[in-house]
Amino acid sequence: MTVPTDLDLRFRETAARSGLLDVGYDLVDSPIGPLLLAATDRGLLRISFDPDLEQHLEWLSRIAGRNVLRAPRQVDGVRRELDEYFEGKRHAFDLVLDLRGVTPFTERVLMELARIPFGETATYAELAARAGSPKAARAVGMTMNRNRIPIVLPCHRVIGANGSLVGYAGGLERKVALLTLEGVLL
């Protein structure tokens, strides 16, 4: 016997309302493939392209607490803003982020990253300079590679000094798709 869908959803809804969850997540479709969205009561914790759910659950549980449950309600706001972004109706995100556990350097870089506007790009070196560490282009590259909240923190807008796309943790084809959506690439 399996639990009827409506009962299952009702529990997940109640759990999200109860304030007892450490993390609520959902798996959603997007034009660049399925996404995992995860949020805590502090804000958006994770966006991922990686389909390995079990690994995500373990990471979420380790970083924020073991009360991790698929609870669409917890990421309603994130889903809505992402939908608008993919429809071309939203150019800036208005979401609170949960950056617990990141180093001060990473946080500084991510805050600068968040300021690169829709449809524009910056190089790794430029971003390093804006974050106050002009020699740290390589470290900035690592930070982009480990970005926990891609799309919203737009690491796809960071490119090489010669204009090459360099790389993207979610796969280069996704970087191309996002930059195309934003009109940077044709």
Nearest residue (CB) to other proteins, 66 versus 100: 66
For the CB of residue 60, give the shortest distance to other proteins in the complex, in Å.
Answer: 7
For the CB of residue 61, give the shortest distance to other proteins in the complex, in Å.
Answer: 4
User: Interface residues with other proteins (CB under 8 A)?
Assistant: 1-3, 7-8, 10-11, 14-15, 18-22, 54, 57-58, 60-61, 65-70
Nearest-10 Cα torsion for 101, 63, 41, 78: 90
Decide if 86 contacts 30 (C-beta within 8 A).
yes
For the CB of residue 96, give the shortest distance to other proteins in the complex, in Å.
Answer: 21
Alpha helices by DSSP H, 96-163: 104-113, 124-130, 137-145
SS3 state of residue 185: coil
Nearest residue (CB) to other proteins, 2 versus 162: 2
Catalytic residue check, 155: yes
Q: Shortest CA distance to 145 belongs to which of 118, 121, 113, 167?
A: 167
Pick the catalytic residue from 63, 155, 158, 177: 155
Terminal CA-to-CA distance of the chain, rounded, Å?
Answer: 51
Nearest residue (CB) to other proteins, 25 versus 168: 25
SS3 state of residue 82: helix
Catalytic residue set: 155
